[in-house]
Amino acid sequence: MTIRPARLLYVFFILWLFFSALYYAPNLISGNLIVDRSDDFWHKIIKYIVIGFIGLLFFLIKKKTDHVVQVFFLSFFAITLLLLQPFGSQGSFGFDAVVVLVLLCGLTHFVISLEYDQLRGIARAVIISAIIASVISYFEYFIFEPVLGEFWERTGGFRAVSTMLNPNNFGVYLGCALVLLLFSDIFKGRWKFLIGVAIFSALLLTGSRTAWVSLLLSVFFGHLYRGGGKLKFSAILHSIFFLSVLLALVMFFILSGLVELPARMLDFQTASIRLDKYFEYLTQIDSSYFFPDSNFLRIDMVSESSYFHFLNAMGIFLAVPVLFYYALNLNTSWFWQVFSNHAGRCFDIAVFYFAVAMLFENVFMSFPCNQLFFVSLGASIACFKCGSSKCDGDFYSARTS
């Protein structure tokens, strides 16, 4: 029997992708959900070691020079950030952000190289991992009070975190899984419905408004995309019906008194505070914005947005060249396919979902959501490259005649 290294790497990747959703399970069991940078250093860093290892194996097997060029380019900026750190600065979170980018870009390149059936396996692994994390959140709600009661008091009431330390991080992951479920036919019929109920209910328990807004916009965008820029009433009615039935079932449990939703879901005051911080960050711009915020002077204003966090961490002086580099290397045909390709692709919509979520949540630095974003990006590009003859069909439920 011939052992194919590329096949073994894919199996290892799928297992890791599945395990990633459960990575922080020990923290849930112990109740240690608020951790500092110094807490359990190796547990915090080993996940990125594994991700970097996958990228290295991909290069050794495929010998893709574009991946190496990107790694060296980003590594140069990481070193530059360290050199720009003033003496006595409090930290180097800009360096951390670039290191995360260096490691995660390997996953994107790896996924781009995969075939149709392998992309299908990625979607299935994400959905199944979301099911397990959702079930754990039910145990969290009904059974873990002795362990997590003190944590809930400090954070203003119950919000499910499951195995992802943070309710917003958990909610964003579940929302992406719902996008993959809704816009594909990996699961069909009653299985699709039951899985939707399980994940949707857990999403409500997170109280994550970011996940809600991103999911609703993605459903609208997804049907716009499926229609090649024109909304199809029958298509959008299908998703409205699907989500409405899920909501009706959840409301039954709420009205029966069995479940109480987090009050934060309807607390728009905290959302307005977040928007006020973003506005403050934009209106106070001065020459210091050209350089990394080494002393965390503006971290409170940008910590909850991936875009502002990256800009603040890098500074305009370094962020613009990085964005310019990616603009030159981005396949513009892939970017504009939404206006020309009528076949719905679940990973395309997942990329849009994360693009919205990153406005209000620092997805970029939140594992495993940051990993899932780079994987979805790679899968979206892979679908475009392999062509409609391979990627359309039973993988995607959204098709046009």
Q: Give the separation between CA 6 and CA 114, rounded to whole angstroms.
A: 10
| Residue 64 φ/ψ region, left for φ over 0, alpha for ψ in the -120 to 50 degree band, beta for the rest | beta
Bond before 368 cis per omega within 30 degrees: yes
At 390, list the tokens: 């391979």
In sequence order, what are the residues at sequence separation of 6 or more whose Cβ sits closer than 8 angstroms to the Cβ of residue 116?
A: 386, 390, 391, 395
**pLDDT tens across 335-349, in order?**
656 555 534 478 888
Question: Which sign does the torsion angle of CA 275, 280, 286, 289 carry?
Answer: negative
Average pLDDT over residues 52-74: 76
Q: What phi, psi does 309 have (nearest 5°)?
A: -60, -45
Q: Considering only CA atoms, which of 204, 14, 36, 23 is closest in space to residue 111?
A: 14
Average pLDDT over residues 61-90: 67
**pLDDT tens across 90-112, in order?**
555 566 777 787 788 888 888 88
Q: Considering only CA atoms, which of 397, 390, 380 is closest in space to residue 344?
A: 397
With beta carbons less than 8 A apart as the criterion, state whether 370 and 113 touch: no
With beta carbons less than 8 A apart as the criterion, state whether 354 and 305 touch: no
**pLDDT tens across 324-335, in order?**
766 666 655 666
At 46, list the tokens: 């080993």
Residue 341 belongs to domain spanning: 5-391
pLDDT at residue 388, rounded to an integer: 46
Q: Is 399 a domain residue? A: no
pLDDT at residue 122, rounded to an integer: 92
Q: Is 397 a domain residue? A: no
pLDDT at residue 343, rounded to an integer: 47
The residue behind tokens 């490691």 is 103
Q: Is 155 a domain residue? A: yes
Average pLDDT over residues 219-226: 73
Q: Give the separation between CA 231 and CA 235, rounded to whole angstroms.
A: 8
pLDDT at residue 219, rounded to an integer: 81
Q: Give the separation between CA 14 and CA 126, rounded to whole angstroms.
A: 9
pLDDT greater than 80 at residue 361:
yes
At 309, list the tokens: 């966090």
Q: Considering only CA atoms, which of 188, 199, 187, 179 is closest in space to residue 135?
A: 199
**pLDDT tens across 165-188, in order?**
888 889 999 999 999 998 888 888
- Kindly report which listed range (68-77, 158-167, 174-183, 211-220) carries the lowest average pLDDT score: 68-77
Q: Is 91 a domain residue? A: yes
In sequence order, what are the residues at sequence separation of 6 or more whose Cβ sits closer than 8 angstroms to the Cβ of residue 169?
A: 161, 361, 363, 366, 369
Q: Is 400 a domain residue? A: no
pLDDT at residue 1, rounded to an integer: 47
**pLDDT tens across 273-315, in order?**
667 777 777 777 877 787 777 767 777 777 778 888 888 877 7
Q: Give the separation between CA 299 and CA 296, rounded to whole angstroms.
A: 5
Q: How many domains does the chain contain in total? A: 1
pLDDT greater than 60 at residue 377:
yes
DSSP structure class, residue 1: -
Amino acid sitting at position 248? A
Q: Is 289 a domain residue? A: yes
Q: Is 18 a domain residue? A: yes
- Listing DSSP states for 243-281 in one string gives HHHHHHHHHHHHHTTS----GGGG-HHHHHHHHHHHHHH
Q: Is 398 a domain residue? A: no
Q: Give the separation between CA 214 and CA 193, rounded to whole angstroms.
A: 21
* Burial tier of 378 (Cβ tally within 10 Å: 0-12, 13-18, 19+): buried
